[in-house]
Structure 1
Amino acid sequence: MKSKLTLRLDDSLIKRAKKRAREKGTSVSQMVADYFTLIEAEQSSSHQKLPPVTASLAGILKDTDIREEDYKKHLEDKFLK
């Protein structure tokens, strides 16, 4: 069953989305549906490979700016000082 969904977006984003849809020969609605289908598939496939506790924690640090060097420094500080 298909239902209608209203999104409120900036005019410039709407124009870009419509242009992209025309270029791809699809609709903005289909692009949004494809996006959420893709995200759902990625999350379910990546979480299925992890133990339950790890899967529940996956993704909680996405918005941080932690680099490998920061982690190495943390380990040095913790174990070598």
Structure 2
Amino acid sequence: MNTKLTLTIDKSIIDDAKEYAKENGRSLSKLVENYLYLLSLKSKKNIAKDREDELSPYTKRMMELIKKNPARYTDLDLKEEKLKRLEEKYLK
């Protein structure tokens, strides 16, 4: 759903942006929309990075293993895997 947005921007910037949009076969609205979309993606990536920093070392390690070899871990049961690693660590 599209919503109207009113912005106050220096006229020379608007003129340059309209020219750029015309040269590239796009509307000024689409250029602004795409720019705001890219900003939101960057923000989401930063939030994801912050959340990743809060993960436990175990979870980070599991993520690394899965990224290195995703095919090996398609049917991975994380609870079972954690139990196995804890048994190896403390029962041997």
Superposition TM-score, scaled by structure 2 size: 0.51
2:10 aligned partner: 10
Q: Which amino acid aligns with 1:48?
A: A
Question: What SS is found at the alignment partner of 1:50?
Answer: helix
Q: Which runs of 5+ in 2 are unaligned?
A: 55-92
Equivalenced residue count is: 54
- Identity across the alignment (%): 35
* 1:5 CA drift (Å): 1.2
- CA offsets 1:51-81 (integer angstroms, 9 cap, x no match): 4888xxxxxxxxxxxxxxxxxxxxxxxxxxx
- CA offsets 1:10-65 (integer angstroms, 9 cap, x no match): 110110010110111101100110001001101111320224888xxxxxxxxxxx
RMSD: 2.1
Superposition TM-score, scaled by structure 1 size: 0.57
